[in-house]
Chains A and B, each alone.
Chain A
Amino acid sequence: MTNQSERFAALADPTRREIFEKLAKKPMAVGEIAEGLPVTRPAVSQHLKILKEAGLVTMRTEGTRNVYSIDFRAIASMRSYLDRFWQKALTAFKDAVEKENGS
């Protein structure tokens, strides 16, 4: 489990912030991320490794390319929470409507 402090620390570096902001727009491979940045590709890969360890980005392999994107686990947990919530709410709603029948 990654905590917020680790995230802040990972984003203390301006190059890593720039990389993160690029990925917030869309998923990209290392080459595309490196374009326009004043650092070498191996340096970009190193920054990506740190961002990944901090739980800020995720990586998937597409053919020969590694594609990076923002880590959206926050959505996944929120989504499953709301899914359970609405299931519970609608079940209670059904009971309430049917109890009202004939009243």
Chain B
Amino acid sequence: MSSVRREVIVEAAADRAFRVFTEKMDTWWPPEHHIGKLPMKNIVLDRRNNGDWYEVGTDGSRCDWGRVLIWDPPRRVVLTWQLTAEWQYDKAFITEVEINFTPLAEGRTRVALEHRNLERYGAKEADIIKSVGSEGGWTLTLQRFAAAASLRNAHTDPAAKRSSPAT
């Protein structure tokens, strides 16, 4: 299980920290980190279990990022992050981001974030290669590759034609 953990201590009560995190994401989200073609207008988190999480572009178009897995204000929220390594939303690809807000002395709050299931990025890559390798798309891909790489014999590779031995 591969994950990234980060935490920060803020000079604010947990309620406020939770609210800024979930309701005002676009005031702090690094604006260059988004998936739409156009710049982001805002980020929407539908604040309830199973609520959607998405960006809205300057033209009003919507790009999904994930959804709310656990809505537990003002201490914890778990989101799904469904962006692949190619920065595409994929309904079937799920990693999780959990954020915990812990009150500390003197009105401070520890905000601890864990982004987990990152091993799925590797599994996904293996899946893509496997599916290309096992389905009808394979021949086409190989032909394209052969054309691109001028590898004349790729599609007549004797190894690829070898028949299975009798069982």
Interface residues of A (CB under 8 A from B): 5, 7-9, 11-15, 17, 20-21, 24, 38, 56, 70, 72, 74-75, 78-79, 82-83, 85-98, 100-101
Q: How far is the CB of A29 from chain B (nearest CB, A)?
A: 20
Asked whether A98 and B115 contact (CB < 8 A) given A13-B159, A75-B2, the answer is: no
- Say yes or no: B145 contacts A88, CB within 8 Å: no
Chain B 6-46 per-residue mask, 1 if CB under 8 angstroms from chain A, else 0: 11111110001100110010011110010000000000000
Interface residue tally of chain B, by bracket? 35 or more
Asked whether A88 and B20 contact (CB < 8 A) given A14-B162, A24-B130, the answer is: no
B136 proximal to A (CB < 8 A)? no
B105 proximal to A (CB < 8 A)? no
Interface residues of B (CB under 8 A from A): 2, 4, 6-12, 16-17, 20-21, 24, 27-30, 33, 85, 111, 113, 115, 118-119, 121-123, 125-126, 129-130, 132-134, 141-142, 145, 148-149, 151, 154, 157, 159-160, 162, 164-165
Roughly how many angstroms separate A70 CA and B16 CA in the complex, as a whole number? 45
Asked whether A87 and B6 contact (CB < 8 A) given A13-B160, A82-B115, the answer is: yes
Contacts of B142 in A (CB 8 A): 8-9, 12
* 22 intermolecular pairs with C-beta atoms under 8 Å apart: A5-B149, A8-B141, A9-B151, A11-B132, A12-B142, A12-B154, A12-B159, A14-B162, A20-B133, A70-B126, A75-B118, A78-B85, A83-B6, A89-B28, A89-B29, A90-B8, A92-B28, A92-B29, A93-B8, A97-B11, A97-B21, A100-B20
